[in-house]
Structure 1
């Protein structure tokens, strides 16, 4: 398995992986292309024998440069159970684009047990603490159309020295 930065040509395969990974929200193809180009340093693709099997989209929020926000994690059905999600998260925080980040955040619905397990295991593996708080509420932010999104905050992240 090769973990690498995405490139724009990965866009269609990423869109297909997201579509095959409910409950992830589908992004526009253009959004995926921007993530693969403008945010490549904080995104990860996992590839085996030329087949894209994993994807993490993430970014450094402009108002919180000490943070990495993980937007989506997708693992193809054929690669589930291999610990790929955790390996991609580890690769993300080891990147130069992640240097200086002290916290990783994401949002997860209450019912998404796979994501809670992934991020809880990541926190344990790195000796960090996972806290949760409401980020976007079902009625106030989604007009009842989406479950409440809970923010999972993990800190402190491991110190990655500058080269």
Structure 2
């Protein structure tokens, strides 16, 4: 598969990606996508600063729908502030497994929902769900078996 970045003039991929509207604090609220092979392969190049973003504090601008899965690099609705370790390798490990399944021909229903404590601009976690047309499950770091959902805590590496 070649690199297919998100067409920023249509970050919804013709309706296959639905970004939730930002809330009253400007925080991203989630994304749901139907992932197919033509969407795979974009490169990470964040062009926005999400709510709570502070440079040089150990944070990443984290995609809800990763660029490698067809996520926008320019849509505010696609970004949250995550500790670097929670974003990569933790989120990236799941995204890479999803991408491989899609590239192998599976259609994946994928969603990511940030979880905030009160008015905190930085989420305390994100929940990722992925359900495949051929029974896809991902295997989280350290797990012995697959699952379709996981909550990744937004904490620095311990």
Shared fold (TM-score greater than 0.5)? no
Which structure has more strand as a fraction of its residues?
Answer: 1
Which structure has more helix as a fraction of its residues?
Answer: 1
Name the TM-score class by shorter chain.
Answer: under 0.3
Structure of larger gyration radius? 1
